[in-house]
Structure 1
């Protein structure tokens, strides 16, 4: 089977995408697949480069990767691709919309407000949430453009920084607790990973540098483990996820808060999903096989 690994793209996460693509290419079984690296720098070069593929493995992150755009293009030209579909990708990429779905489904999530410019900051609402708060671009990942704000005086600068990366900025209640991530494959929860970092939060260097964070598979106490797994499955169903995804959470005082859902989680050598799969007993090559097989089985194109 001929597989094109689409990487690069146009987002601020381009560098991470190339790392993901490189690791996927190195790990795919050369006896099973004819592998074609497909680096892209614009939206417009995509169709000509992928239209003859048997399968596109999407190694993009951020805009025109996780937001449903590339998925829609691939569906329109009949090329099967890895991971979630258009709707799921778009919903999960938009943090504000994701949170509205969480609330509608009675899934706990930190409180938040949205702003489009500095003048819209509602300081009274933020005081009600209490400092510190997280300031982040609404559409984005890899912790790019995110700031932990401890005092009111730092807020304007943090919002201005986040607006460099997106037209909308989320100001979110900071929940200090145990950070975990739950990787899901075909609707099943893989081993939960605990994340411990020396930084104030799980930032870019924590995610991608060697020894940037301590990430270990854990078994939570029985009632909490069951609750986390149930929340994961509710997220899977509510967002109509398919094939694979990663759900980031914080646990505080026994309460579980969902932060966000990643429909194209990082697949670098330091990424969380390969670590969770390994704890489950899957090598990275075997994980890629399962993603390809499941994507083909669920594809309508």
Structure 2
């Protein structure tokens, strides 16, 4: 198997607010690939330069980075320039998926369900504007920094007096803040593997966090969060949600692998798309490996399958010649 992949780089760490999670993801992926006999090497993009990456002469890389400078298209662009095949989505899809606002706009244009929302400038938004959004979208209300992940820069607002301080918190992380209608119900997530017509949904995971608070601590470190996989849903609803997940994945142009997050409204079991992760976590608490395991795919085999899908999105013209 080592010959099939050549020299492999596992890119992890990085400089985003999700560095700590990426270090855990990268360590898991590296160990898994090495256990399969693959010539894999760790490379911390937060500590080493693009020039050093080029000097390593990797035949392909597994991107285990989360957040900015790794999941947002910037690194993907550099890898295109270097001609190094990489896992996951290409430049444009990575950039879009990292932006919750643009993702929601694309979903809406494709007739896909997502909660109502408003977008505010972090610097110039008044308290009156925020109150108007709360009146329009209702309470509770979710405020989010739209370019962060791992529940960083997110606040749930339960009353009018909480809106302004919650906005100030989220504004520390981004130039804009997303105000989103809160959907009361069950939290679900659907991993997707492949691309285009060959994209397929894995088993649905239902997340039951303490007090319904799936925050950073409960996501990565707590043993109190419950995960039900496959989620206890009837076959028809399961197929409906998985089909929406694949449509949402393809609408953004994602490829390789990803994870689509949902809320299932309690009143009528209608699913609503929340966000799309184009480079999901691969830690001991992560959901993609959990779902893969439920479908008979081990962590090690999952990492190898994702690595096998590594590709370059752009292809230089065969007629081009350096002068």
1:288 is matched with: 303
Query: SS of 1:28's equivalent?
Result: helix
Residues 1:181 and 2:186 aligned together:
no
User: How many Å separate the matches in 2 of 1:133 and 1:76?
Assistant: 42
Larger Rg: 2
Query: Which of these residues, 94, 103, 109, is aligned with residue 104 of structure 1?
Result: 109
Gaps (5+ residues) in structure 2? 1-5, 317-323
Are positions 1:273 and 2:258 aligned together?
no
Distance 1:300 1:244, change over 3 A: farther
Kindly report which structure 2 residues correspond to 1:229-248, keeping only aligned pairs within 5 A, or say none. 229-248=242-261
- 23-32 or 178-187: which moved more? 23-32
Q: 1:258: Cα distance to partner?
A: 0.2
The structural deviation recorded for 1:18 is 0.5
1:161 counterpart (155, 169, 177): 169
Kindly state the Cα deviation for residue 98 of structure 1 after the two structures are TM-superposed: 0.6
Structure 2 residue corresponding to 1:224, chosen from 237, 248, 268: 237
Instruction: Report the TM-score when normalising by structure 1.
Output: 0.94
Contact 1:4 1:50 in 2 (8 A): no
CA shift for structure 1 position 292: 1.0
Q: Counterpart in 1 of 2:203?
A: 191
2: CA distance, partners of 1:9 / 1:297: 21
**In the alignment, structure 1 residue 150 sits paired with structure 2 residue 154:** no
Cα distance in 1 for partners of 2:304, 2:285 equals: 19
Match of 2:214 among 202, 207, 213: 202
Q: Which residue of 2 aligns with 1:11?
A: 16
Q: Cα 1:13–1:176, aligned 2, differ >3 Å: closer, same or farther? A: same
How far apart are residue 249 of structure 1 and its match? 0.2
Residue 145 (structure 1) shift: 1.7
The alpha carbon displacement at 1:97 in A equals 0.4
Deviation at 1:298, TM superposition (A): 7.4
Task: Check conservation: 2:67, 2:149, Cα contact below 8 A.
Answer: yes
CA-atom RMSD in angstroms = 1.8
Separation in 1, partners of 2:262, 2:184: 11
TM normalised by structure 2 equals 0.88
How many Å separate the matches in 1 of 2:146 and 2:167?
Answer: 11
Unaligned runs of 5+ in 1: none
Give the whole-Å Cα distance in 1 for the aligned partners of 2:34 and 2:116.
44
Count, aligned residues? 300
Is the 1:50–1:56 contact (alpha carbons within 8 Å) kept by the matching residues of 2?
no
